[in-house]
Amino acid sequence: MSFNSLCMNNLWRSAIRLSSNAAVTSTRLVAIRCKRFGDKRGELCQTRAHSNNTQHVSRKLVRNGKEKKLVVFIEGNIASGKTTCLEYFSKTSNIEVLTEPVSKWRNVRGHNPLGLMYQDPTRWGITLQTYVQLTMLDRHLSTMSAPVRMMERSIYSAKYIFVENLFRSGKMPEVDFAVLSEWFEWITQNIAIPVDLIVYLQSSPQTCHERLKERCREEEKIIPLEYLEAIHQLYEDWLIKKTSFNVPAPVLVIPADDDLQKMLHQYEENREKILAGSNV
Ligand SMILES: Nc1ncnc2c1ncn2[C@@H]1O[C@H](COP(=O)(O)OP(=O)(O)O)[C@@H](O)[C@H]1O
Ligand SMILES: O=c1ccn([C@H]2C[C@H](O)[C@@H](COP(=O)(O)O)O2)c(=O)[nH]1
């Protein structure tokens, strides 16, 4: 038996011995170590660590024959309606909703990295995006309290959309981009980030600009239409054309330019697909 297999066996045995309360923590540790040892069975490791009588079936965790733990990312441009969508689904029992930790980005120990980034992206882009990466990772790894988790954005969009935009627009120095990329690659290669479905709220940059002005978040008052157009293009390349970066789950596209009433109707129409973690 190789050293790696020996370690894996010991890890599984000790993880399974742990009490159910400790299961999520052990899941995390084992998932991290599975990836570190180059084990391709990251998801299986998670499952085994979680419970003795848990099986792994087509990307989903099931226990005693019942489906459990589905993770859905809600992606889309700034002010496309992600929070509003999450608020709607939060009224459903058995769905846990995680909004973006924007309040943290606006206040870390009395500092406002979001505001600083909009004022001077070249100086503060790395500061904000480092903190976004940390806080999103913390969200991804937090213990699930319901069978379904709907989460606003992800560590992927932070990197593939926002960091990429800063760099491509010449507002992030190459060294900052390199350091953030190294961090991102280390995280995604060593830590299992669960996701079953990406819901993309596809809205025009013009609609987002209108809604953003209406929302009137202080830091965002200086955002021009061109910024939203650039973010839109990156989202389209990533999730529609699929030409830029890895897409970690199937994508369900929901057109999001309609008024609130029609949007709520669309969410209802797509409810089953979302809860099944399916884009068809
Ligand atoms: N379908 C809609 N029609 C009109 N206004 C909307 C719609 N959805 C959301 N809004 C408003 O647009 C603004 C941005 O919505 P929000 O859900 O906060 O977007 P996001 O979370 O994507 O940034 C808010 O003021 C919200 O009330
Ligand atoms: O990686 C990121 C993620 C978000 N932001 C900015 C964009 C917005 O100003 C806020 C929150 O976005 P919403 O779409 O309103 O939820 O944070 C960023 O700069 N980098």
- Please state, in angstroms and rounded to a whole number, the distance separating the CA atoms of residues 142 and 137: 9
Active site annotation includes 100? no
* pLDDT score, position 280: 87
Model pTM greater than 0.90?
no
ipTM here: 0.99
Considering every ligand atom shown, identify the ligand nearest to the alpha carbon of residue 260 and give its number: 1
**C-beta 83 within 6 A of ligand 1:** yes
Strand positions, DSSP E, 82-216: 95-98, 148-152, 197-202
**Ligand 1 pocket check for 79: Cβ under 6 Å:** yes
Each residue's pLDDT tens digit, 147-158: 999 999 999 999
Give the residue among 96, 202, 81 at the shortest CA–CA distance from 145. Answer: 96
Whether 265 lines ligand 1, by a CB cut-off of 6 Å, is: no
pLDDT value at position 210?
97
Are the C-beta atoms of residues 159 and 184 closer than 8 Å to each other?
yes
Cα 78 to ligand 2 centre (Å):
6
Report the nearest atom of ligand 1 relative to the CA of 201. 22
- Domain chopping of the chain, boundaries: 3-63, 69-276
Which of 40, 44, 10, 39 lies closest to 27, judged by CA?
44
What is the per-residue pLDDT across 219-270, written as a single tens digit (0 to 9) for each?
Answer: 999 999 999 999 999 999 999 999 999 999 999 999 999 999 999 999 999 9
Mapped onto helix, strand or coil, the DSSP state of residue 62 is: strand
Which pLDDT tens digit goes with each residue over 84-119? 999 999 999 999 999 999 999 999 999 999 999 999
More confident residue, 43 or 120: 120
**For the sheet containing 66-68, what is the strand order?**
54-57, 60-63, 66-68
Give residue ranges with CB within 6 A of ligand 2: 78-79, 82, 100, 102, 114, 117, 128-129, 132, 158, 162, 220
Q: Which ligand is nearest to the CA of 263?
A: 1
Q: ∠154-160-163 over CA atoms, to 5°?
A: 100
Q: In terms of Cα–Cα distance, which of 145, 151, 133 is closest to 191?
A: 133
Measured CA to CA, the distance from residue 145 to residue 69 in angstroms comes to 9
- Residue 246: φ, ψ to 5°: -55, 135
CA of 228 to the centre of ligand 1 (A): 15
Q: Could you tell me which CATH class the domain 69-276 is placed in?
A: alpha beta
The Cα–Cα gap between 18 and 92 comes to 32
